[in-house]
Amino acid sequence: MTFSIFGLAVSQGIAIGRAHLVSHAIMEVAQYQLRDKDIPAEISRLEKAFATTAAELESLRAEATAPGSPAELSAFLDLHTMILADPMLAEEPKVLIRDRRCNAEWALVQQMQQVTAQFDEFDDPYLRERKQDIVQVVERVIKALQGKPRKLAKRGKDEDLIVIAHDLSPADTIQFKNLRIGGFVTDLGGATSHTAIVARSLAIPAVVGMHHARPLIQDDDLLIVDGTRGALIIDPDERILEEYRLKKTALELQRSKLKRLKTAHAATLDGVDISLQANIELPQDMADVKAVDADGVGLFRTEFLFMNRDDLPDENEQFEAYRTVAKAMMGKVVTIRTLDIGADKEAKALRGAERIQPNPALGLRAIRYCLAEPQIFMAQLRAILRASHYGKVRLLIPMLAHASEVDQALAMIEAAKVQLRAQKVKFDEDIEIGGMVEVPAAALALGPFLKQLDFLSIGTNDLIQYTLAIDRTDEAVAHLYDPLHPAVLRLISLVIQTGQRAGLAVSVCGEMAGDPKMTRLLLGMGLRTFSMHPSQVLEIKQQILMADAGQLAGKVARLLRMEESERVRELLVKINA
């Protein structure tokens, strides 16, 4: 039976394919309430998952007893089989399902947390470590409950693989770069979460904030992801499939027509030159940057070099990555942002320094983290400075709010320069240093930035989050995340005007820069440098070529006087018409 569910459209396009269910983290299983009549079925679902897991362990044991297999493997399987059979895990969750009417995954994780909490108290390290075994066993059962397949689902010739997850971290999503993933859908997430940003950078259709998609979908279900409308269509009939195949072809045609703009010079109808730069996460994104002939790299999110690994990239490894990008751009600007770790961007290797933060988006992230971890910061600064010898590298500092942070960051850059000079290592002595304006305090009190920095880059994703007090990753408040809120627009306009008046180059590198509905608005505010995912560059260029910057300035000045988002929206529709 065909049915549709809706979430937040975060990455445009259409994917038609088979569902591949993944579980990201055991702690992130969905919680839902059952009706009384569904309780017996839920208990039997849990029992079946235990039976599947037991069978899985049994078949692994057969492999483990084959000649040449390590003895530890067999011991480990014995232990896991024993844990699986323990009534604390096998029986207690059933009580929770009955008493609290909660789903099996949730009951199991609750029980696991209770059991493992006691393990932290043990003095004996061997016993303490057994906690991990319990977690692994529970993870197996959860996967069996959620139907996670051992292998990727089979695909037809024209079918993509569609990843369905309760949640995906940016670190999970970046791994899609190496896989053929057609689209993805998550129950959690906001439109400018880094997971969504990575999806757009990969140009794969994605819908987030679905709430309950995962429990409704089985592996191998035929799905359509409509990343433009924010819809997921499950088990579409032939008529709907045909309609979407046509839409998909039309979109592809539109995209391929845009390719003709690659060599066109980006200038408005009244002759104002615009710089269209690219945001990248990893050096391998350079192929996409080249494919659209972007005018530079406006934002290199270096924290992605730190993800999906157990160690830290050292100075040399970082240097190689930055140099690769600097050289590939052959003299065009390359803006390397220092580590913006924290909030939704995590790196395992940095966990040692991680503190429990009640509100990570307001906590020790970005420059705050770097100033608290000078060794990590220093290694990165030296790597960036060294790479500056090989191209037009600029250094960008995220999330500045205080004059003291600018002072400290500049002092550390100076110290890194002194070290390199002493070692006779070459670097660009005049490297430009810029600051991201993404905290309202910075936008309103730009003085220290203007005096000490060479350029500004407006991070609208965070600026919106902090201005409106909306967690950009939280789908529950996603409807309040509004780039067109008058307060947001006035801050952006203020930074552009004040920065340019002081003679600083100002760019926007948040998601607004790559949204064609925002191009005229930003042009009218006076913006001349846009940085976005490579996949958006040609579409934005098309908008630029059709716009008249002079005319837009007057219209946008009127729009900025509006007091309500709705009025802003209405006027913007007219401006864009």
Q: Which is nearer to ligand PEP, 209 or 510 (CB)?
A: 510
The C-alpha atoms of residue 278 and residue 297 are separated, in whole angstroms, by 5
Amino acid at 563: E
DSSP 8-class letter at 537: H
Q: Which is nearer to Mg ion, 197 or 571 (CB)?
A: 197
Q: Measuring CA to CA, which residue among 236, 191, 189 is closest to residue 210?
A: 189
Provide, rounded to whole angstroms, the least separation between the CB of residue 158 and ligand PEP. 34
Q: Residue 510 interacts with ligand PEP (CB under 6 A)?
A: yes
CA dist 508 → 160, 446, 456 (Å): 34, 16, 8
Q: Which is nearer to ligand PEP, 185 or 399 (CB)?
A: 399
Selected catalytic residue, list 194, 370, 485, 533:
194
Write down the residue that tokens 């000649």 correspond to: 67
- Number of residues interacting with ligand PEP: please give it, by CB under 6 A: 11
Residue 19 has, within 13 A of its CA and on its CB side, a CA count of 27
Which of Mg ion, ligand PEP, none does 301 bind, CB closer than 5 to 8 A by kind? ligand PEP
20 is catalytic: no
Q: Which is nearer to ligand PEP, 10 or 213 (CB)?
A: 10
Question: One symbol per residue from 236 to 265: x for binding Mg ion (CB under 5 A), - otherwise; what is it?
Answer: ------------------------------
Selected catalytic residue, list 80, 102, 509, 533:
509
- Environment class of residue 9 by beta-carbon count within 10 Å: exposed (0-12), middle (13-18) or buried (19+)? buried
- Environment class of residue 433 by beta-carbon count within 10 Å: exposed (0-12), middle (13-18) or buried (19+)? middle
Provide, rounded to whole angstroms, the least separation between the CB of residue 279 and ligand PEP. 7
Q: Measuring CA to CA, which residue among 527, 80, 536 is closest to residue 272?
A: 527
Provide, rounded to whole angstroms, the least separation between the CB of residue 472 and Mg ion. 9
Binding residue for ligand PEP, selected from 42, 438, 471, 515, defined by CB under 6 A:
438
Q: Which is nearer to ligand PEP, 23 or 460 (CB)?
A: 460
Binding residue for ligand PEP, selected from 139, 160, 340, 432, defined by CB under 6 A:
340
CB distance 520 to 549 below 8 Å: no
Element spanning 56, H or E: helix 39-64
Provide, rounded to whole angstroms, the least separation between the CB of residue 438 and Mg ion. 5
**Among 178-186, 453-461, 515-523, 551-559, the segment contacting ligand PEP (CB under 6 A):** 453-461
Binding residue for ligand PEP, selected from 146, 193, 277, 460, defined by CB under 6 A:
460
Binding residue for ligand PEP, selected from 23, 53, 173, 461, defined by CB under 6 A:
461
The C-alpha atoms of residue 377 and residue 291 are separated, in whole angstroms, by 32
Site for Mg ion in 452-481 (CB under 5 A): 459, 462
Q: Which is nearer to Mg ion, 405 or 438 (CB)?
A: 438
CA dist 391 → 294, 437, 534 (Å): 15, 25, 20
194 is catalytic: yes
CB distance 530 to 450 below 8 Å: no
CA dist 67 → 63, 64, 553 (Å): 9, 8, 77
Q: Residue 459 interacts with ligand PEP (CB under 6 A)?
A: yes
Provide, rounded to whole angstroms, the least separation between the CB of residue 400 and ligand PEP. 12
CA triplet 205, 207, 213: central angle to 5 degrees? 130
Provide, rounded to whole angstroms, the least separation between the CB of residue 207 and ligand PEP. 19
Provide, rounded to whole angstroms, the least separation between the CB of residue 299 and ligand PEP. 6
Amino acid at 43: I
User: Residue 297: phi, psi to the nearest 5?
Assistant: -105, 115
Q: Measuring CA to CA, which residue among 314, 371, 317, 384 is closest to residue 341?
A: 371
Provide, rounded to whole angstroms, the least separation between the CB of residue 193 and Mg ion. 11
- Number of residues interacting with Mg ion: please give it, by CB under 5 A: 3
Which of ligand PEP, Mg ion, none does 460 bind, CB closer than 5 to 8 A by kind? ligand PEP
Site for Mg ion in 399-438 (CB under 5 A): 438
Residues that bind ligand PEP (CB under 6 A): 197, 299, 301, 340, 438, 459-462, 509-510
Point out the residues that are catalytic: 194, 509
Residues that bind Mg ion (CB under 5 A): 438, 459, 462
